């Protein structure tokens, strides 16, 4: 990508391209002979297709092909038994409403859209259920263990504690819905060579999935995904709609582009599923936690299982000798969920951190003091020390910034006219992951550095961060460094997810840069130059146009000896209108304890974006189903409410910025997830502080305040 620094070395390297329209997203590639796919989707929730009449569609102007289970376009892996049941076009079964059942390929998008409306389908309907609560209560409904039960000390110890609380917390379906619609361009050429332009968080993952389904060599597949218009997790999977497009290109012998509709974004590319959780907490009268029980039920699909880390946090976040958790997944007749920013932990944190606030209130303690009193010295779950944890410092900094001293412990104390003011706090935590990745570095005699890796950038600023790591190590200005990504032919890297990219790829950049440095030093020594000579002079003296090194990098043993987490503390001030029930978030301070900050501008943006997502989760976002039909009611951006600018106050971001070299050589921990995790509880806690009303079902809309 073009590397154009606007003002200073911390600028986003692709910022100029993004704000000038120069960044090219998958749907913008114009291939010769490009054709257009449009999906036909099921209008029932469960059952079988009994007939699919495609005649009218096939005869419609511009139509090249209509593919479905009737003509089974070639996909060798789908001809075999086993694997996921959602083998697109290889099954007549309907698993959920809105499931893709056919693809119409035409020479224009409009013609494909029209022809898709002409496909007539008949079904044999079966009884279905899309309601998690109903499934939980139905003894005959299938339930699966989502994670092994966990127990330390006495089970359900909270029940016999001096002070106890036990409450249920409910989260609705939340959708990723990035601005950019999902889809893919697939170009299947003779001799089984495939090029795709994808919207993916992992070009290698997409490449691997296509290779598996079509049983062709991995090197035959080129996946390009240089720019991604937001992912939030939905690009962590190669969806049936993408396979359908590759099938279609193979079938028609032309490149096919598929871009799904906003409505289809609610059904085909996963969501953060509904969860119903119970938290029981026990404490002594002086505020020491004596029991934590966290039980969660999460939605999954009937054709594929989905799990996430809903109950992880309860096991180590607080000092407590008696903890037990269980997490059950319940298949319902909906599309399979996929991890969404802060996956699982964000769901769990709403419950746990609300409950912590409820307990502090029972104890008549400041919730911050209660957290500090129960802050663990070590990870009791893993029985290991934390590699680093500066949470007490983070509490202090954030509290000072938001003006926590203004807060009154008695709810409803701060009133100005019809507006009630409240303050809330919550903690977020996520694994400080580090995976394995390779990076190729090429130092050139023209004074530039090229770094290459098959990683992604769904928005956090991958190239910017990597450039800054290399710049400091090699003393090259960032405008002389180019980082190439989003190309499956580059050295392998894992998908961008789980807040691990900076840690994983950054470590490989670090290793490559150090190796380049010593190579230059060797060359300098061999040519009788000063060891500190500039690499340009050294290369020129050696008549080398460039040197290149590829390094694979991963953690060492230190990872076994320590518990590694990133932490965040969110402080929120809200104003709640007594008469209308409107909640306004009026101040936000998010503190990140995520090691050394490598890229200050993009790191801040991550925290700001997390807070905005958190406002949505807390106050506005809910994908609403009519369970009688299994169909979404508000599947558009007018009715599914992501926060708008007017919902978002100024956001203060503070970083502890202390390196943790046990995690990686930069001392930096990931922060994409912690930016969001816990935020919704901070809002709910602030609402309680403002009004005395405890809202345990998200989102906190005016009707719930007035109830």
Q: List the interface residues with other proteins, window 41-70 (CB under 8 A).
A: 43
Residue 649 CA to residue 573 CA, distance in Å, equals 10
179 binds other proteins (CB under 8 A): no
Nearer to other proteins, 185 or 619 (CB): 619
Question: Residues 548-587: x/- map of binding to other proteins (CB under 8 A)?
Answer: -----------------------------x-xxxx-x---
Answer for which of 20, 528, 532, 645 binds other proteins (CB under 8 A) is 645
List 613, 614, 643, 665, residue binding other proteins (CB under 8 A)? 643
| Residue 214, both tokens | 């079509």
Binding to other proteins by residue 110, rule CB under 8 A?
yes
DSSP-based helix, strand, coil % in the chain, nearest 5: 30, 25, 45
Phi, psi of 704, rounded to the nearest 5 degrees: -75, -35
- Per rule CB under 8 A, is residue 162 in the interface with other proteins? no
Total residues binding other proteins (CB under 8 A)? 34
- What is the C-alpha R_g of the chain? 27
Residue closer to other proteins, measured from CB, 338 or 619: 619
Is 607:601 a contact under the CB 8 Å cutoff? no
- Residue of 155, 304, 647, 657 that binds other proteins (CB under 8 A): 647
DSSP three-state, residue 632: strand
What would the two tokens of residue 349 be? 């944190």
Give min distance, CB of 121 to other proteins, in A.
Answer: 11
420 lines the binding site for other proteins (CB under 8 A)? no
Q: Are 169 and 697 in contact (CB under 8 A)?
A: yes
Asked if residue 419 binds other proteins (CB under 8 A), the reply is no
Nearest distance from C-beta of residue 125 to other proteins, angstroms: 13
**Residue in 93, 73, 335, 104 with CA at minimum distance from that of residue 213:** 73
Closest approach of Cβ 177 to other proteins, in Å? 14
Window 245-264: residues binding other proteins (CB under 8 A): none
Interaction between residue 650 and other proteins (CB under 8 A): no
Residues 6+ apart with CB under 8 A from 21: none
Q: Which of 16, 90, 150, 629 binds other proteins (CB under 8 A)?
A: 629
Candidates 242, 353, 358, 673; catalytic one: 673
504 by DSSP, 3-state: which? helix
Smallest distance, other proteins to C-beta of residue 706, A = 5
Q: Which stretch binds other proteins (CB under 8 A): 216-224, 375-383, 434-442, 641-649?
A: 641-649
What CA–CA distance (Å, rounded) separates 504 from 487? 17
Q: Does 528 bind other proteins (CB under 8 A)?
A: no
Among 28, 126, 530, 626, binds other proteins (CB under 8 A): 626
Q: Is 113 in the site for other proteins (CB under 8 A)?
A: yes
Q: What are the DSSP E strand ranges found in 497-650? A: 546-553, 565-577, 583-593, 625-626, 631-632
**Residue 707 in contact with other proteins, rule: CB under 8 A:** yes
- DSSP per-residue string spanning 17-58: HHHHT-SPBGGG---TT-EEEEEEE-SSSSEEEEEEE-HHHH
Give CA torsion, residues 280, 286, 287, 293, to 10 deg.
-20
User: What torsion do the CA atoms of 80, 82, 343, 669 make, to the nearest 10 degrees?
Assistant: -70
Stretch of 266-274, 354-362, 568-576, 624-632 lying at the interface with other proteins (CB under 8 A)? 624-632
Q: Which residues contact 93 (CB under 8 A, 6 or more apart)?
A: 47, 48, 85
Give the number of residues written for the chain.
Answer: 707
Closer to other proteins by Cβ: residue 215 or 262: 262
List, as one string, the DSSP characters of 438-503. EEEEEEETTS-EEEE-S---SSS-HHHHHHHHHHHHHT--GGGEEEE-SBTTSSP---S-TT-HHH
673 belongs to the catalytic site: yes
Q: At its nearest, how many Å lie between other proteins and the CB of residue 573?
A: 16
- Residue entry with tokens 């070395």: 9
Minimum separation from the CB atom of position 641 to other proteins (A): 5
Quote the CA–CA distance of 610 and 415 in Å, as a whole number: 29
Which range, of 20-28, 332-340, 439-447, 617-625, touches other proteins by CB under 8 A?
Answer: 617-625
Q: How many CB atoms lie within 10 A of CB 81?
A: 4
Q: What is the nearest approach in angstroms of other proteins to the Cβ of residue 418?
A: 7
Q: Which is nearer to other proteins, 266 or 655 (CB)?
A: 266
Sheet strands (E) in 485-582: 546-553, 565-577
Shortest distance, position 104 Cβ to other proteins, whole Å: 13
Q: Which stretch binds other proteins (CB under 8 A): 168-176, 235-243, 459-467, 645-653?
A: 645-653
Output the smallest distance, CB 621 to other proteins, in A.
Answer: 10
Closer residue to other proteins (CB): 141 or 648: 648
**Residue 630 Cβ, how far from other proteins at the closest point, in Å?**
10
The stretch near other proteins (CB under 8 A) out of 107-115, 159-167, 496-504, 556-564 is 107-115
Q: Are 425 and 367 in contact (CB under 8 A)?
A: yes
Residues marked as catalytic:
673
Give the binding site for other proteins (CB under 8 A): 43, 110, 113-114, 117, 418, 577, 579-582, 584, 619-620, 624, 626, 628-629, 631, 633-634, 638-639, 641, 643-647, 701-703, 706-707
């Amino acid at each position: 990508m073009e590397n154009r620094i606007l003002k200073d070395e911390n600028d986003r390297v692709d910022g100029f391209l993004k704000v000038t329209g120069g960044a090219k997203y998958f749907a913008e590639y114009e291939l010769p002979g490009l054709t257009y796919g449009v999906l036909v989707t099921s209008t029932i929730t469960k059952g079988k297709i009994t007939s699919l009449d495609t005649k009218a569609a096939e005869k419609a102007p511009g139509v090249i092909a209509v593919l479905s289970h009737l003509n089974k376009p070639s996909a060798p892996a789908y001809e075999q038994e086993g694997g996921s049941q959602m083998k697109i076009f290889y099954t007549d079964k309907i698993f959920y409403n809105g499931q893709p059942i056919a693809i119409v390929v035409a020479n224009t998008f409009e013609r494909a859209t029209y022809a898709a409306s002409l496909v007539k389908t008949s079904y044999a309907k079966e009884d279905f259920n899309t309601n998690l609560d109903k499934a939980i209560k139905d003894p005959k409904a299938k339930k699966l263990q989502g994670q092994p039960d966990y127990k330390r000390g006495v089970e359900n110890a909270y029940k016999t504690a001096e002070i106890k609380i036990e409450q249920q917390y409910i989260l609705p379906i939340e959708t990723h819905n990035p601005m950019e619609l999902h889809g893919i361009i697939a170009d299947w050429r003779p001799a089984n060579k495939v090029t795709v332009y994808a919207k993916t968080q992992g070009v290698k993952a997409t490449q691997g999935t296509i290779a598996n389904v079509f049983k062709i060599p991995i090197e035959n597949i080129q996946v390009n995904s240089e720019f991604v218009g937001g992912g939030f997790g939905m690009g962590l999977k190669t969806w049936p709609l993408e396979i359908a497009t590759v099938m279609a290109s193979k079938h028609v012998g032309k490149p096919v582009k598929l871009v799904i509709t906003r409505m289809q974004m609610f059904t085909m590319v996963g969501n953060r599923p509904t969860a119903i959780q119970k938290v029981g907490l026990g404490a002594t009268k002086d505020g020491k936690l004596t029991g934590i029980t966290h039980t969660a039920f999460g939605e999954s699909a009937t054709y594929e299982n989905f799990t996430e880390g809903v109950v992880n946090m309860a096991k180590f976040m607080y000092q407590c000798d008696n903890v037990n958790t269980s997490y059950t997944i319940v298949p319902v007749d909906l599309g399979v969920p996929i991890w969404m920013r802060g996956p699982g932990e964000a769901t769990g944190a709403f419950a746990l951190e609300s409950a912590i606030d409820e307990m502090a209130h029972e104890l008549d303690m400041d919730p911050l003091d209660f957290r500090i009193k129960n802050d663990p010295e070590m990870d009791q779950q893993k029985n290991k020390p934390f590699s680093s944890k500066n949470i007490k410092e983070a509490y202090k900094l954030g509290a000072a910034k938001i003006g926590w001293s203004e807060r009154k412990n008695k709810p409803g104390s701060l009133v100005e006219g019809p507006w009630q003011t409240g303050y809330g706090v919550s903690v977020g935590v996520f694994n400080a992951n580090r995976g394995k990745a390779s990076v190729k570095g090429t130092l050139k005699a023209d004074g530039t550095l090229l770094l290459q890796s098959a990683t992604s950038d769904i928005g956090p600023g991958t190239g910017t961060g990597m450039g800054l790591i290399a710049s400091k190590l090699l003393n090259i200005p960032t405008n002389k460094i180019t980082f190439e990504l989003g190309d499956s032919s580059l050295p392998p890297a894992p998908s961008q997810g789980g807040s691990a990219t900076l840690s994983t790829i950054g470590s490989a950049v670090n290793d490559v840069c150090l190796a380049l440095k010593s190579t230059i030093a060797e060359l300098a020594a061999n040519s009788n130059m000063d060891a500190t000579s500039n690499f340009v002079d050294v290369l020129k003296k050696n008549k080398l146009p460039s040197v290149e090194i590829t390094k694979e990098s991963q953690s060492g043993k230190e990872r076994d000896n320590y518990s590694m987490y990133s932490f965040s503390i969110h402080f929120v001030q809200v104003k709640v209108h007594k008469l209308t029930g409107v909640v306004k978030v009026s101040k936000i301070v998010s503190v990140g304890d995520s090691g050394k900050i490598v890229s200050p501008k993009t790191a801040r943006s991550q925290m700001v974006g997390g807070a905005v997502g958190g406002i949505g989760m807390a106050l506005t976002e809910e994908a609403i189903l009519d369970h009688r039909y299994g169909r979404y009611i508000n599947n558009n951006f007018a009715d599914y409410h992501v926060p708008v600018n007017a919902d978002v106050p100024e956001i203060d971001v503070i970083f502890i910025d202390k390196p943790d070299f046990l995690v990686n050589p930069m001392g930096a921990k990931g922060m994409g997830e912690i930016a969001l995790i816990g935020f919704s509880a901070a809002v709910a806690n602030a609402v309680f502080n403002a009004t005395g009303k405890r809202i345990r079902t998200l989102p906190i809309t005016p009707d719930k305040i007035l109830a």
